[in-house]
A and B are shown apart, each in its own frame.
Chain A
Amino acid sequence: MLEVKNLHVKIDGKEILKGINLKVNKGEIHAIMGPNGSGKSTLAQVLAGREEYEVTKGEVIYEGKNLLELSPEDRAREGLFLAFQYPVEIPGVSNTNLLKTALNEIRKARGEEEVDALEFLSLIKERMKLVELDQSLLSRSVNEGFSGGEKKRNEIFQMAVLEPKLAILDETDSGLDIDALRIVANGVNKLKSNDNSTIVVTHYQRLLNYIIPDFVHVLYNGKIVKSGGKDLASELEEKGYDWVKDPSNELVSN
Chain B
Amino acid sequence: MSTTEVSTIEQLANREYKYGFVTEIETETFPKGLNEDIIRRLSAVKNEPEWMLEWRLKAFKHWLLMKEPHWSNVYYPPIDYQNISYYSAPKRKPKLNNLEEVDPELLNTFEKLGISLEEQKRLTGVAVDAVFDSVSVATTFKEKLLELGIIFCSITEAIQNHPDLVKKYIGSVVPYTDNFFASLNSAVFTDGSFAYIPKGVRCPMELSTYFRINAANTGQFERTLIIADEGSYVSYLEGCTAPMRDENQLHAAVVELIALDNAQIKYSTIQNWYAGDKEGKGGIYNFVTKRGACRGINSKISWTQVETGSAITWKYPSCILQGDNSIGEFYSVALTNNKQQADTGTKMIHMGKNTRSTIISKGISAGRSNNSYRGLVRILKKAENARNFSQCDSLLLGDKCGAHTFPYLEINNPSAQIEHEATTSKIGEDQIFYLNQRGISTENAIGLIVNGYCKQVFKELPMEFAVEAQKLLSISLEGSVG
* A160 CB, nearest partner CB in chain B, Å: 13
Given contact pairs A50-B433, A88-B428, A88-B430, A102 touches B438 in the complex (Cβ within 8 A): yes
Of the candidate stretches A71-79, A119-127, A203-211, A246-254, the one touching chain B is: A71-79
The reply on A39 being an interface residue by CB < 8 A is no
In the complex formed, the residue of A with least CB distance to B453 is: A92
Which A residues from 83 to 112 make CB contacts under 8 A with B?
A: 84, 87-88, 90-93, 97-99, 101-103, 105-106, 109
Given contact pairs A71-B4, A88-B431, A97 touches B438 in the complex (Cβ within 8 A): no
> In the complex, are the beta carbons of A72 and B453 less than 8 A apart?
no
In the complex formed, the residue of A with least CB distance to B362 is: A92
Using Cβ atoms and an 8 Å threshold, which residues of chain A touch B452?
90-93, 141
The reply on A48 being an interface residue by CB < 8 A is yes
> In the complex, are the beta carbons of A72 and B455 less than 8 A apart?
no
A-B contacts at CB below 8 angstroms, number: 79
> In the complex, are the beta carbons of B437 and A48 less than 8 A apart?
yes
> In the complex, are the beta carbons of B428 and A73 less than 8 A apart?
no
* A57 CB, nearest partner CB in chain B, Å: 21
The reply on B434 being an interface residue by CB < 8 A is yes
In the complex formed, the residue of B with least CB distance to A71 is: B4
Using Cβ atoms and an 8 Å threshold, which residues of chain A touch B441?
73, 105
Given contact pairs A101-B444, A101-B448, A92 touches B438 in the complex (Cβ within 8 A): no
> In the complex, are the beta carbons of A72 and B448 less than 8 A apart?
no
* Interface size in chain B (residues, C-beta < 8 A): 25
Q: Chain B binding site: helix, strand, loop or mixed by DSSP?
A: helix
> In the complex, are the beta carbons of A162 and B439 less than 8 A apart?
yes
Given contact pairs A90-B448, A93-B448, A101-B444, A106 touches B439 in the complex (Cβ within 8 A): yes
Using Cβ atoms and an 8 Å threshold, which residues of chain A touch B453?
91-92
* B335 CB, nearest partner CB in chain A, Å: 15
The reply on B454 being an interface residue by CB < 8 A is yes
The reply on A158 being an interface residue by CB < 8 A is yes
- Complex alpha-carbon distance, A75 and B451, angstroms: 25
> In the complex, are the beta carbons of B433 and A92 less than 8 A apart?
no
| A152-163 Cβ-contact flags toward B at 8 Å (1 or 0) | 000000100010
Q: Chain A binding site: helix, strand, loop or mixed by DSSP?
A: helix
> In the complex, are the beta carbons of A73 and B434 less than 8 A apart?
no
- Complex alpha-carbon distance, A73 and B433, angstroms: 9
> In the complex, are the beta carbons of A90 and B436 less than 8 A apart?
no
Using Cβ atoms and an 8 Å threshold, which residues of chain B touch A84?
434, 437
> In the complex, are the beta carbons of B430 and A76 less than 8 A apart?
no
Using Cβ atoms and an 8 Å threshold, which residues of chain B touch A17?
none
In the complex formed, the residue of B with least CB distance to A51 is: B2
The reply on A49 being an interface residue by CB < 8 A is yes
- Complex alpha-carbon distance, A72 and B435, angstroms: 9
Using Cβ atoms and an 8 Å threshold, which residues of chain A touch B466?
none
> In the complex, are the beta carbons of A87 and B436 less than 8 A apart?
no
10 contacts between A and B (CB under 8 A): A49-B437, A76-B439, A76-B440, A88-B431, A90-B431, A90-B448, A92-B452, A97-B448, A98-B438, A102-B439
Given contacts A92-B455, A162-B438, 19 further A-B contacts (CB under 8 A): A50-B433, A51-B3, A72-B436, A72-B437, A73-B441, A75-B437, A76-B440, A84-B434, A90-B434, A90-B452, A91-B455, A92-B454, A92-B456, A99-B438, A102-B438, A105-B444, A106-B439, A158-B438, A162-B439
A residues sitting closer than 8 Å to B (CB atoms) are 48-51, 71-73, 75-77, 81-82, 84, 87-88, 90-93, 97-99, 101-103, 105-106, 109, 141, 158, 162
